[in-house]
Amino acid sequence: MGAVLAEPRTLDKRFTGIVKCKEPLARHTSLRIGGSADVFVMPRTVDDIYEAICFAKESEKPWMVIGNGTNMLFPDTGYAGVIIKLGPWFGRLQVCQDTLYAQAGVNLRSAIMQARESGFRDFDMLVGIPGTIGGALAMNAGIPEGSICDLTTKVKALTSDGKLINLTKDECNFSYRHSRFREETLVIVEGEFSLGKGKIWDGEELLRRRKVHQPLGIPSPGCVFKNPQSGVSAGQLIDRAGLKGTRVGGAAVSTKHANFIINEGGATSRDVLQLIDIVRGVVLKCFGIELKLELAVVNS
């Protein structure tokens, strides 16, 4: 199935995925915010990803890759480029002995279930995180006690000039909610994870902890700020500054978890950015601590 796009450059007829023009990004983010992407593609193969990148380059448009959009804020004006969403077509998942192989579009929940079926509870650490393997690796997602990098042995990625490279864990430059994938134009295609060597997590208990402390079921991007190194969490600082419930338009600081900004209905990207500025300003004034963003904010 070829896909024809607006002149001057069309996606090659060999492109086998889905292409949409002017696709609302609010549909693809957990905050339910964001204007339209000029071009939105869901590749079926690695060749499709490369073709989408070439299309973007030749059309002189920016491009970026997303997973489930659960830690992203897009502008209200949308994205004047190509969004590459890795979904179920990048969903291969298997466990061989004590290694889990998962393509970038696999949901963390599926990885947890697959590992459990093979008798391993390592992935339970990530229970309740609504992202994909690709997004989790890029963000080095985790909880205070550990992150996905603790389980990672290798990552396969596509460079912007079409080469598939295999990176060791060290080459991924993982740090707290960060990796080289947030800085470089690399598309994570697959991850390899070691099972049975780390802590055995009680997934049910971790999920219970989330239900008690987090505003689940309301549109949000999870935690907005990274925890500072001072030892006090960003949520505690925001709470102590009396900011729970502060709102701008349809966006509010959750009263349940102060590091969550929620969309109470009709929130815009502008509302969220203004609220972020308010929170940062008040926390800086009260405690002299500059909060850094965990949320991936895309500029217009």
With binding defined as CB under 6 A, does residue 103 bind ligand FAD?
no
How near is the Cβ of 33 to ligand FAD at its closest, in Å? 12
- By CB under 6 A, residue 182 contacts ligand FAD: yes
Least Å distance, CB 286 to ligand FAD, is 25
Which x/- pattern, by CB under 6 A, does the window 129-168 give for ligand FAD?
A: xxxx-xxx-xx-xxx-------------------------
Q: Residues, the chain, total?
A: 300
Query: Strand pairing partners for 96?
Result: 99
**Burial tier of 200 (Cβ tally within 10 Å: 0-12, 13-18, 19+):** exposed
- 95 contacts ligand FAD (rule: CB under 6 A): no
User: Backbone phi, then psi, for 150, in 5-degree steps?
Assistant: -65, -25
Q: DSSP 3-state helix, strand, coil percentages of the chain (rounded to 5)?
A: 30, 25, 45
Contact indicator for 278, 248 with CB cutoff of 8 Å = yes
Residue type, 94: Q
What distance in Å separates the CA atoms of residue 65 and residue 40, rounded to the nearest whole number?
Answer: 10
Q: By C-beta, is 195 or 261 nearer to ligand FAD? A: 261
Could you tell me the sign of the dihedral formed by the alpha carbons of 90, 93, 96, 97, in that order?
positive
> For residue 95, which amino acid is it?
V
Beta bridge partners of 153: none
The contact mask relative to ligand FAD for 236-275 (x = CB under 6 A, - = no) is ----------------------------------------
Contact call for residue 64 and ligand FAD (CB under 6 A): yes
Backbone angles phi, psi at 238, to 5 degrees: -65, -40
Q: Is 17 in the site for ligand FAD (CB under 6 A)?
A: no
Strands 93-96, 296-297: pairing is unpaired
Residue (282 or 297) nearer to ligand FAD, CB: 297
* 188 lines the binding site for ligand FAD (CB under 6 A): yes
86 lies in the binding site for ligand FAD (CB under 6 A): yes
Q: Which is nearer to ligand FAD, 6 or 165 (CB)?
A: 165
**Which residues would be at the binding site for ligand FAD (CB under 6 A)?**
30, 64-72, 86, 104, 129-132, 134-136, 138-139, 141-143, 181-182, 187-188, 214, 216, 220-222, 296
